[in-house]
Amino acid sequence: MRLILAGRGFGKTRTGAKTIAQLVRETPWGRLALVAQTFAGARDTVGGESGLLSVFGESGLRGGSVDTSWNRSFRELYPRNGAKFKGFSSEKPRSLRPAAPWRLG
C-alpha cells in the first residue's frame, strides 16, 4: 500500500494509473474495481488525460482499440490480457455487493 499526499498538478492520477496498469500486466484475467466518489470520477480515472486508457495505449487494449475495450456506459475496461476493470461509485455503495442468488429474478 502506498500513499501519495500531494497537491494539484503533481501527477497523482498518472502515477496511480501506471501502478495499476503494471499490476494488471502481471495479473492476467484479474478482476479490479475502480471505486470513486462519483460515477463521473470513475469514468475520468479511465478516460481522462492521465487515465488508464492513455497508460495502456491501444496496443494494450482488447481488440487493439478503445472502441472494443472501453464500455463507458457500464464503466468497464478490458485490457488485452483478459483482465476486467469495473467502475463503482460511493453514490451507490450497495452496487459493490453481489446479488444474493435467492434474490435474483
Q: What is the pLDDT, as a whole number, of residue 53?
A: 93
Task: Show me where the domains of the chain are located.
Answer: 12-92
Q: What is the pLDDT, as a whole number, of residue 44?
A: 84
Q: CA-CA distances (angstroms) from residue 70 to 43, 56, 57, 105?
A: 10, 12, 12, 28
Average pLDDT over residues 44-70: 91
pTM over cut 0.95: no
**Mean pLDDT, all residues of the chain:** 86
Which helix (H) or strand (E) covers residue 84, if one does? strand 84-89
pLDDT higher than 80, residue 75:
yes
